[in-house]
Amino acid sequence: MTDFPDTTETFPEQETTQTEPTIITVGEGAGTGGQELGYDVVIGNGLLARLPQLIGHQAERVLVIHPRALRATGDVVREDLEKAGYQAMVAEIPDAEEGKHIQVAAFCWQVLGQNDFTRSDAVVSVGGGAVSDLAGFVASTWLRGVRVVHMPTTLLGMVDAAVGGKTGINTAEGKNLVGTFHQPAGVLADLDTLISLPRNELVAGLAEVVKCGFIADERILEIIESSPEQAQNPHSEQLRELIIRAIQVKVDVVSKDAYESGVREHINYGHTLGHAIELAERYQWRHGAAISVGMVFAAELARSLGRIDDDLVDRHRNILTSLGLPITYRDDRWNQLLEGIRRDKKNRGDTLRFVLLNGQGQPATVEIPDASILFAAYQEIGEPASPTISL
């Protein structure tokens, strides 16, 4: 497998250009979150002062949920909310997937209960997708739904998890099997938080950005092609533009299909094989790395069905490789992967369904009548298993 960037490295300090924030509105008008679409996603630098605006004045108490790794940021958010006149408290939860457990949700419900949170009070998530999924779930279930504002601090959180209202926790049987649809009352994507994000987390998030390029916005691909280095630099104008564009793609899709019954499936481009790889690797691969391979597989599948040409397949490989993302997977795991593919939520009965491209920016959900077609495409991405794989 292509080497994945080092796990601890972050970007060196640099001056970040301060510009006016960009605001993308999801749905129409100002909603209150919950079942209603109608909220702002604010993207920019130094956005903390805008948090009260998104929380609203009816809330008296605010619970800030953050993982241990973001204690300092969580404290700053809490202090700022206190200064703005809220009664603010924090719930520190275990990091990453460890936080997406029913026991952690129960701990948060306990904090809400002990502090007399009412229906007009609010929850704020500070962290990556794991935290927004858990905090969203807690907010959607407390008193049958209170407001939640997400402050995503990972690239994946900004361009994907915090927008769209899906919440989730894991069970012993699998990831995200329990969850709700609960729209946030607002999302604050403060680009300054990405400076401390390990480089491999940033690159993994870029896989979702590339996905948005292939399914909808070609300009995303052009920006990365013109400078893959700047695309990975949290201080760069290029990354800012990529984030804004990727969020816009997600918002466009979610606005058409809030409950994932139709076009929202397209946002799952690359995810069918990607999820199967994550399962086969027992979630030791980053999601972004797995869907990177999944996108190349989907491109090969589309080519074999005569839907796209060689150039578009090559474009997948070139862009993903330029970011250091993997594009191959071990060739001795097909049966295991096929089992994972059969569990995909897009399938209907025994019919396998994949999101494929009919051309650049033209996704469609396609029924695959015969698994042998998949196996043939897999031959194009398989490589001999090596004992020296590095992640």
Ligand X SMILES: NC(=O)c1ccc[n+]([C@@H]2O[C@H](COP(=O)([O-])OP(=O)(O)OC[C@H]3O[C@@H](n4cnc5c(N)ncnc54)[C@H](O)[C@@H]3O)[C@@H](O)[C@H]2O)c1
**Nearer to ligand X among residue 282 and residue 306 (C-beta):** 282
Strand pairing partners for 123?
A: 63, 148
166 is in an annotated binding site: yes
Q: How far is CA 257 from the centre of its chain?
A: 17
Among 40, 160, 190, 300, binds ligand X (CB under 6 A): 160
Q: Is 129 in the site for ligand X (CB under 6 A)?
A: yes
Smallest CA-to-CA distance from 162 within 195, 196, 129 is with 129
Catalytic residue among 266, 271, 315, 330: 271
Within 53-72, the residues that bind ligand X by CB under 6 A are 67, 69-70
**Nearer to ligand X among residue 215 and residue 313 (C-beta):** 215
Is 201 labeled as catalytic in the residue annotation?
Answer: no
Cβ burial, residue 144 (10 Å; 0-12/13-18/19+):
exposed
* Pairwise CA distance, residues 376 & 360, whole Å: 22
Query: Do the beta carbons of residue 187 and residue 163 sit within 8 Å?
Result: yes
Binding mask 197-226 for ligand X (x = CB under 6 A): x---x-------------------------
* Pairwise CA distance, residues 350 & 220, whole Å: 35
- Annotate 62-128 with three-state secondary structure: EEEEEEHHHHHHHHHHHHHHHHCCCEEEEEEECCHHHHCCHHHHHHHHHHHHHCCCCCCCEEEEEEC
Among 2, 22, 176, 230, binds ligand X (CB under 6 A): 176
Q: Is 96 in the site for ligand X (CB under 6 A)?
A: yes
Binding mask 340-379 for ligand X (x = CB under 6 A): ----------------------------------------
Smallest CA-to-CA distance from 166 within 148, 143, 154 is with 148
Chain contacts with ligand X (rule: CB under 6 A): 67, 69-70, 95-97, 100, 127-131, 133, 153-154, 156-157, 160-161, 164, 166, 168, 176, 193, 196-197, 201
Enumerate the active-site residues: 144, 166, 208, 250, 260, 264, 268, 271, 275, 287
